[in-house]
Structure 1
């Protein structure tokens, strides 16, 4: 059983850190129990804030994730030209084509949504160690490919929706 934003699951891999190019993807989904996914979203936001100055990055928090609100990256003034990372805990906003989150991802340049998606139950283990894909629903309705980082129910998993060629490199180790 998956949230409707997740089209399917094709396996997991061991807990390993990896790099995600946020300018090459439209959506990064953190999948797992809410208490863990919210912690992962806060960690990603902190890593981004430490690695990237507020002149280059705008962190836009949707919902109550417990992110520090006084980060200069959260100030929307002067956001034009900065990479906008929208952090949210409501995956339904990805499904609803009229939601502000979905409209931003569909229409704006230099925007990435990082959304927590609750995992209803543990997924079956991967058939082989090389099976690293997870499919999530694309914003145009088609499934897209991503990666998965854990086979444990208690650990969150990540899925990416790729977009055509990256405009510049903004990496986030997760």
Structure 2
């Protein structure tokens, strides 16, 4: 499920993750000689596995616990479907439209580059149709920069947002 993996095989992916965690914990216990933080190592491995359901908090976690079986049973269920279900649950249609409009009108103005980038990423998930490709994302980001920064970047052609942000931060 996490990281874009398709979960059409139901709960098998989660069972496999749990099995791998158990095996890893046992290996840590066997190899632990008192030097180092075994629990810290286990946490790092869980984080590296990018299993998003481990990171759900509060109402989102409760919602997942109550509806996991039903959601996983949906035809074609995958990470994108999970994100959409969570977004639909916690962001009603009117709020999604409002956030998409906010993204459409987003300008850097008095924000720092980092603040603008964070806001851009936060709101872009509500307007995926406007930033469907990396090139479109880079162009949209660039169009919201201050006039001064746009002039400094004049003539540059950006293919990805990451190249944009790197160059903007260096100016």
TM-score strictly above 0.5: no
Larger-Rg structure: 2
Higher relative contact order (CA 8 A, sep 6+): 1
Larger strand fraction of residues: 1
Larger helix fraction of residues: 2
